[in-house]
Every structure is written in C-alpha cells, then in structure tokens.
A and B are shown apart, each in its own frame.
Chain A
Amino acid sequence: KNQVEQSPQSLIILEGKNCTLQCNYTVSPFSNLRWYKQDTGRGPVSLTIMTFSENTKSNGRYTATLDADTKQSSLHITASQLSDSASYICVVADRGSTLGRLYFGRGTQLTVWP
C-alpha cells in the first residue's frame, strides 16, 4: 500500500533555532517528492520538488534531502522565523499513471515561539 508517513506530528521550537522534519514513504514506482508549506486557513505552497536523481535541493532557508534507496526525505529549516509556523506536508508522486498520482502525508505542525 502506497503511504507517506511524517514525523514528528508536531514540533515547537524557539525563533532562530534549526529543525529537521522527516518523511518516510512506500510509494512505488517513485517519480518525485515534494515539500509544501501550508499556513493555517490557506492552500499549500510548494517549497521543493526532487526527482529520483536529486539528493538535495534548497529554497532559501529550507533544504530538502532525498534518499531514494531508503525511501526517506527530510526538510531542514535554518534560523527559524515566526513566519515559519505552519504545517509542512510531504507529497510523493508515482510514475504509474499519466496523472502522476500524488500521495500526501498528514503534515508536521511547526510552531515557532519568540
């Protein structure tokens, strides 16, 4: 069964600190992995997209890593800001259909305190 599991479910950190969010998946055949940021009451916004051949990709203070062998990904946030408070969703696409079926994790709820 294709699944995407994220940990931790929630996380509280102090402003300025770093944190790492984890994503494990069983989706096969794998196409790409995406990280989205979803603010409360808003739609998700894409942070990174990585294909099978990419190990790391950065977007400002956000750095995503991918280990396609172990089917694990992480999102590292550097020097956190209050505006980083949001849900971070890991999404994996398969190659099994023209649509590129997406499998969504439940997200990690990050709260950054001043």
Chain B
Amino acid sequence: EADIYQTPRYLVIGTGKKITLECSQTMGHDKMYWYQQDPGMELHLIHYSYGVNSTEKGDLSSESTVSRIRTEHFPLTLESARPSHTSQYLCASSGQGLETQYFGPGTRLLVL
C-alpha cells in the first residue's frame, strides 16, 4: 500500500470558487506529479516537481497552479473553478531512477 494521500476525495463546488486539492506522501520521494483523468480516457500530466521549490507545467494546459514548499506536500490550486475543470485529479510520487510512480486515490471534482 503506497503512502500517498489526497484530500478531499470528492468535491462539489460552484463556479468561481477557489479550491485547493491536497496531496502528501510519506515516502520521502523527490518527484511528485499531478494528473488529470476524464472517464475512459488516458491520464494527462498537468504539473510535476523534481523537489522542493521546483515546479513545472506538464503536457496538458491547465489553469491550476502548484507549490512545493515541503518534500512531502504538493498542493494544487484552482483560483476560479469552472465546469470545464470537472474531472478526476490524481497525485503521484516517485523516487530515483526507474522507480515506479505511486498514485494517490484521487480527487473527483465537480464544478457546477
């Protein structure tokens, strides 16, 4: 069982609200990732981090932002949620080399 946690698991929110999705891991991994996944579709990388104070945008354009102030914590923020942001957001982390990515349980976001 991977030690990577996401909260909340489910979130229903109105348009225009600011939200922060939390992700934390206790494995001491330097690399962390955020993916977006729609039902029946592949995962798309939206943000990643090599370590503290390092953040990069992924392949899928996203209006969200991330921060990495502590190794174990990688929160994702949407300043103004829109219905197009409705999706599942998965956080992952990995160690060095070919180490597998460990995924959190995901946050299902519904923006009304």
A-B contact count (CB 8 A): 48
Residue-wise interface mask of B (63-89) relative to A, using a CB-CB cutoff of 8 A (1 in contact, 0 not): 000000000000000000000000000
Question: A31 vs B90: C-alpha distance in the bound complex, in angstroms?
Answer: 23
> For this complex, into which size category does the number of interface residues on chain A fall?
20 to 34
A contact face: mostly helix, strand, loop, or mixed: strand
**Inside 8 A of B103's CB, which chain A residues have their CB?**
43-45
Taking the nearest CB of chain B, how far is it from the CB of A97, in angstroms? 11
Taking the nearest CB of chain A, how far is it from the CB of B23, in angstroms? 11
Given the known interface contacts A41-B106, A41-B108, the answer about A46 and B101 at a Cβ–Cβ threshold of 8 Å is yes
**Inside 8 A of A104's CB, which chain B residues have their CB?**
42-44
Taking the nearest CB of chain B, how far is it from the CB of A89, in angstroms? 8
How many residues from B make CB contacts under 8 Å with A?
A: 23
**Inside 8 A of B4's CB, which chain A residues have their CB?**
43
The contact of B45 among A4, A43, A44, A102, by CB within 8 Å, is A102
| A32/B98 in contact, CB under 8 A | yes
**Inside 8 A of B92's CB, which chain A residues have their CB?**
43
Does A51 have its Cβ within 8 Å of any Cβ on chain B?
A: yes
| B42/A43 in contact, CB under 8 A | no
Taking the nearest CB of chain A, how far is it from the CB of B27, in angstroms? 13
Chain A to chain B contacts (Cβ below 8 Å), 21 pairs: A4-B42, A41-B105, A41-B108, A42-B105, A43-B4, A43-B91, A43-B92, A43-B103, A44-B103, A46-B100, A46-B101, A98-B50, A99-B48, A100-B98, A104-B42, A104-B44, A105-B42, A106-B40, A106-B41, A106-B42, A107-B42
Interface residues, chain B, CB within 8 Å of chain A? Answer: 2, 4, 31, 40-45, 48, 50, 90-92, 98, 100-106, 108
